[in-house]
Structure 1
């Protein structure tokens, strides 16, 4: 069974969508550990409520990003996780971490990448005047919101949308496609080739 480690900085709603998919039987996996860089993160509370191991790692006590990330790696390896899922983790991972878990770190971003990376993706989309926004699950690499794309969902922009209203509709799609991406990984159906993700057919 796929063992998942989750990195989260905030409320952890995408974490909850994965937990819900596991509990419904849709996803055959287990969240082994939730790590946060924020002591009071709602994601840690969600983990505790589900009986999932949780750990707050304070980045301020380390004198380099690599040492902070090594503390995360040590915790993840203690629980022998297979896949790392970033669920609102508000830190850019260094090459040190990403190379350690090459093609084993998933991230979700509220835009149709490669458009509108970084913060405030929904505002970027509205400012640009796009007619379709959305969200993307991808493998993390050494860039910001780059890396091979696994799955995307389109969300039409409505007249009068604000950053908040658009974000709310995009979040609903995030909750739908993130568990799907994890499921494809659990089924060993994802192959990265020449920087692109190939979704393999279901084995008969």
Structure 2
């Protein structure tokens, strides 16, 4: 199984993923594609793990349609490195041929319980609406904005956010990623229409908030 990552900004989540990942997972990562100079510090970390780091600053791409040029750059790299799945923590919209050639192969991590609060600043939007629960969604990327088939979701209470902050929510994406790796490795994910079915998954589990102590 060959993976790649597409990242923007400081790529804090990827830094922690590399830190906590086992050797088997690290071996699957063929390259990290960044469109932001803000995460140049990643290069040293990735080189230590023998992972190729490629920087193509988004705002240095020629206009018009930087999103398409950025997407085509990533597509070329994915094809060259025979990538099976791409994990996206990127800020910019992927479009064009990459969405057809890698349909249901690019997984995005979004900090809300989709379909609620798609797009940017999702956590802030939820807090401003006094949402009682917050969380993350891992979904396949399609032509829309955060509209692709949902694979996994994580949920916490808003009170947990007020107590622990943004990273408490965002770091749940790390555990989600490692669970996705197991599902992909064992071919447990099946897409039917716009819905994901996880083979042999128990979907009867539930929890109640809050956890009341004696």
Q: TM (normalized to structure 1)?
A: 0.85
Question: Which runs of structure 1 show a deviation greater than 6 angstroms over 4 or more consecutive aligned residues?
Answer: none
Offset from partner CA, 1:76-128 (integer Å, 9 cap, x none): 222111101102x1101114321221000000011100101111111111111
What residue number does 2:10 align with?
11
CA RMSD of aligned residues (A): 2.4
Distance 1:32 1:171, change over 3 A: same
What residue number does 2:133 align with?
132
* Uncovered stretches (5+) of structure 1, i.e. residues with no partner: none
Query: Contact conserved, 1:17 with 1:176, CA < 8 A, in 2?
Result: no
After superposition, where does 1:50-65 map in structure 2 within 5 Å? 50-59=49-58, 60-63=60-63, 64=65, 65=67
Give the distance between the partners of 1:24 and 1:53, measured in 2 at CA: 16
Per chain length, whose mean CA-contact separation is higher, i.e. which structure has more relative contact order (CA < 8 Å, sep 6+)?
1
Alignment pair present for 1:181 and 2:180: yes
2:35 aligned residue (37, 42, 49): 37
What residue number does 1:92 align with?
93
Higher gyration radius (CA): 2
Distance 1:199 1:33, change over 3 A: same
* Uncovered stretches (5+) of structure 2, i.e. residues with no partner: 202-214
Q: TM (normalized to structure 2)?
A: 0.82
How many residues align? The count is: 197
